[in-house]
Amino acid sequence: MQLMKRIMVALACLVLGLQAGLVTSFAAGDASSKSSSQASQSNDIGFSVAAKIPSNQLDQHQSYFDLKMTPGRQQKIQTTIYNVTNAEIKVQTAIHTAYTNGNGIIEYVTPAKSFDPSLKYRMSQLTTIDGPKTVTIPANGSKVVTATIKMPKAAFNGVVLGGWYFKRVSNKVTGHVKGSMNIANQYSYVIGLKYTMGKLPAPQLKLDTVTAGMQNYRRGIFPQLRNVSAVIVPKLTLKAKLTSKNSGKVVKTFSQKDVQLAPNSVYKVPILTGTNRLQAGTYHVHLVAQNQDHRWVFDKDFVISTAAADKYNQASVDNSGINVGWFILFGALGMLIVGLIGVLIFLKIRKRRRA
């Protein structure tokens, strides 16, 4: 019963992922991001966006908004949405506050569910879209959309980071076979928003609570590494070692490269235990975070309760001993086969009707 439940969960995740079909191109506040000018060269998704760079842009070579701001400043910024199709389309826009996602990457697309207590100003609070948030762009035409920035009057040193999000809402459907599954694709862009005020503070990291938990239905230990400074902390290498306080044995080691921390955000470091079940007890984590310019070392004891261990052990897909990737692969192949069968049935019925 448990195995069947895990299979259904994995397949449900697959279906949701295929239905979303999200294709995102963005120009954000780090060197690894793809610029909007590059993204606009790809017209497969039917539209593109480009920022109108203002005079207070710090780096004129960047295609995202990299603005030098002062206390109390109010400013209009604009982007142009280009429709490269032969029919009008609708595009939904939103302002998102950047954060660090569960993979150690700065996230601009999906809105955050919560924010670190050290975050003083959210991009979504400082920047608001003028007019309707869903706009219609005529066939082979364009439309300029405007947002208003209102910076706080109080002095502030550091960076506020986010993104201007654009999603096409006139979804296309990949098939029209009666009785088959139609998959709607969603396409989006994000143009980075980076506001710098005063002087950049030195980066400061803190290790908060360490708890048992799950990521993508996989059990593990999650130290909460907080960036409490208003700056991006780039290219971090993380190394961690978990030791049982009861036996003194090392139960898990972990390493990760190229971690990017958004300003004033928390990264729940995913130390997944795989097929090794969580065991109740007292543990110690030794965590080192470093990049070219800085190095932080953290040590912390934590407890895994019997209730927490039982909860995540029972819910984890790791119990089956089967890689979820195989579920996804076989599920995708199964859906493809079902789709092909549906097409063949449809063609056969149409041939009979014509006869």
pLDDT at 343: 60
Mean pLDDT of 132-142: 96
pLDDT at 45: 78
- Helix, strand and coil percent figures for the chain, each rounded to 5: 20, 45, 35
The band of 106, judged by pLDDT with boundaries at 50, 70 and 90, is very high
Contact between 300 and 210 under an 8 Å Cβ cutoff? The reply is yes
179 pLDDT higher than 50 = no
20-197 adopts what CATH topology?
Immunoglobulin-like (2.60.40)
pLDDT at 320: 60
The band of 1, judged by pLDDT with boundaries at 50, 70 and 90, is very low
The pair of three-digit structure tokens given for residue 265, joined into one six-digit string: 């955000």
Mean pLDDT of 69-78: 97
The band of 260, judged by pLDDT with boundaries at 50, 70 and 90, is very high
- Return the minimum-mean-pLDDT range out of 88-92, 116-120, 348-352: 348-352
| Burial of residue 203, with CB atoms counted within 10 A of its CB: 0-12 exposed, 13-18 middle, 19 or more buried | buried
C-alpha of 246 from chain center: 37
8 pLDDT higher than 50 = no
Global pTM reads 0.77
pLDDT at 264: 98
pLDDT at 223: 98
Q: Which residue has the tokens 């306080």?
A: 245
Question: Which comes out higher in pLDDT, residue 4 or 350?
Answer: 350
| Burial of residue 199, with CB atoms counted within 10 A of its CB: 0-12 exposed, 13-18 middle, 19 or more buried | exposed
Equal fold, 20-197 vs 205-320: yes
Mean pLDDT of 173-196: 66
- Return the minimum-mean-pLDDT range out of 85-99, 167-181, 224-238: 167-181
Which of 100, 78, 89 has its CA nearest to residue 191?
78
Counting Cα atoms < 13 Å in the Cβ hemisphere of 297 gives 0
Quick one: CATH architecture of 205-320? Answer: Sandwich (2.60)
The band of 101, judged by pLDDT with boundaries at 50, 70 and 90, is very high
The pair of three-digit structure tokens given for residue 302, joined into one six-digit string: 């934590």
Residue 304: partners with Cβ closer than 8 Å, 6 or more residues away: 212, 221, 278, 279, 280, 281, 283
The band of 34, judged by pLDDT with boundaries at 50, 70 and 90, is very low
The band of 334, judged by pLDDT with boundaries at 50, 70 and 90, is low
What are the boundaries of each domain within the chain?
20-197, 205-320
The pair of three-digit structure tokens given for residue 187, joined into one six-digit string: 């396409």
The band of 3, judged by pLDDT with boundaries at 50, 70 and 90, is very low
**Phi and psi, residue 119, nearest 5°:** -75, 115
42 pLDDT higher than 70 = no
Calculate what percentage of the chain has a pLDDT beyond 70: 74
The per-residue pLDDT for range 17-30, each reduced to its tens digit, is 333 333 343 443 33
Q: What is the mean pLDDT of the chain?
A: 83
217 pLDDT higher than 90 = yes
Residue 344: partners with Cβ closer than 8 Å, 6 or more residues away: none
- Measured from the Cβ of residue 348, the count of other Cβ atoms closer than 10 Å reads 10
pLDDT at 354: 59
pLDDT at 13: 40
pLDDT at 332: 64
pLDDT at 271: 97
| Burial of residue 18, with CB atoms counted within 10 A of its CB: 0-12 exposed, 13-18 middle, 19 or more buried | middle
| Burial of residue 194, with CB atoms counted within 10 A of its CB: 0-12 exposed, 13-18 middle, 19 or more buried | buried
pLDDT at 351: 61
Q: Calculate Rg over the CA atoms of the chain.
A: 24
Counting Cα atoms < 13 Å in the Cβ hemisphere of 137 gives 28
- Return the minimum-mean-pLDDT range out of 45-49, 122-126, 244-248, 317-321: 317-321
Question: Which comes out higher in pLDDT, residue 170 or 202?
Answer: 202
The band of 87, judged by pLDDT with boundaries at 50, 70 and 90, is very high
Question: Which comes out higher in pLDDT, residue 175 or 217?
Answer: 217
194 pLDDT higher than 60 = yes
Rounded CA-CA distance 108/98 in Å is 5
Bridge partners of residue 79, in order along the sequence = 51, 145
Residue 86: DSSP 8-state: S
